[in-house]
Amino acid sequence: MPEHDDEIIEQVADELRGPVPLSASFDARVMRAVRRFPRHSRHSRGAVWSRLTAPRAIVVRPLSAGLLAACVLALAGLGLVQAAKMVRAAAKPAVGGVFARTAKPAATQRVQFVLVAPDAKKVAVVGDFNGWDASHAAYQAKHRGGGVWSVTAPVPVGHHRYSFVVDDTVWMADPTAPRASDNDFGLPNSAIVVEADK
C-alpha cells in the first residue's frame, strides 16, 4: 500500500490533525474528580509523585550582572538569538533584575519575575510557591512595554521551581535563570533560591 502517496488519506489525516475544542469546564471537572481521591504519600516507597515533587538541592547564587552576561554569551553562542534578547531585556535596569528584595526581614521575599515575550497576550508565573496555579491573581505579569512582562510577588524563603505560562498554553522556563533538572513530565522549570535577609 502506498502509505505516503495516497492523496485522500493525507487529506483525511490533515483534517483530523486539527484541534478539537473541549468544554471550558473540562479542567475544573478533572480537578474536582482528582481531589476526591486520597492524597498520595510523599514518603511512600517508590512513589513517583514524590520524585516529581520533592524539592531539589539546587544551589543558586544571587544573580549578578556577570551571570547575566555569561548567559547572554552562552545563549548567543548557541544561536538562541531570541532567548538572548530576552536575557538582555530582562537585565535592563528599567525592569529590575530577575528578583529583588525588600529590606524587611520576612519568611517571604518580594521577587520580581521578568520575561520578554513580544507576542504574548498574557503571562503568568507558576511555581511550587503558588500551587502551579496559572490563574493566581498575585502572579499575573503586566506588560511594561516593548514586550517586557513583569510581576513582583511574594515567594517564601527557600529553594523553588517555577516557570512562565504564556497565553495560558505555552510553558516557558525563565531564560535568565538556571534550569531545574526536572523530570517533571517534560515541563521546563527554572530554579531560584530565595534567601532570608541577613
Partner 1 sequence: MLSGDVEAFAVLVARYRDRYARYAYHMLGNREDAEEALQDAFTRAYRSLARCEDPDRFAAWLFRILINRCRTTGARRGRRARTFVVDEGAVLAAAEEHPAERAAWREEIGRALAQLRPDQREAFLMKYVEEMGYDEMSRSTGVGVSALKMRVMRACERLRGMLTEVQNA
What is the rounded CA–CA span in Å between residue 16 and residue 11? 9
* Measured torsion, CA atoms of residues 166, 168, 169, 174, in degrees rounded to the nearest 10: 30
Is residue 185 at the binding interface for partner 1, with CB under 8 A as the rule?
A: yes
Residue 180: Cβ within 10 Å count: 23
Is residue 183 at the binding interface for partner 1, with CB under 8 A as the rule?
A: yes
| Contact predicate 190/174, CB 8 Å | yes
Is residue 29 at the binding interface for partner 1, with CB under 8 A as the rule?
A: yes
Residue 51: Cβ within 10 Å count: 10
Which of 5, 19, 61, 137 is in the footprint of partner 1 by CB under 8 A? 19
Is residue 31 at the binding interface for partner 1, with CB under 8 A as the rule?
A: yes
Q: What is the number of alpha carbons within 13 Å of residue 143 lying toward its C-beta?
A: 11
Which of 89, 134, 148, 173 is in the footprint of partner 1 by CB under 8 A? 134
Query: Smallest gap, in angstroms, from Cβ of residue 47 to partner 1?
Result: 5
Q: Which region among 88-96, 126-134, 137-145, 146-154 touches partner 1 (by CB under 8 A)?
A: 126-134
Name the residue with cell 535563570. 177
Q: Which region among 20-28, 63-71, 86-94, 109-117 touches partner 1 (by CB under 8 A)?
A: 20-28
Specify which residues 127 forms β-bridges with.
162
Is residue 93 at the binding interface for partner 1, with CB under 8 A as the rule?
A: no
Closest to partner 1 by CB, 3 vs 119, is 3
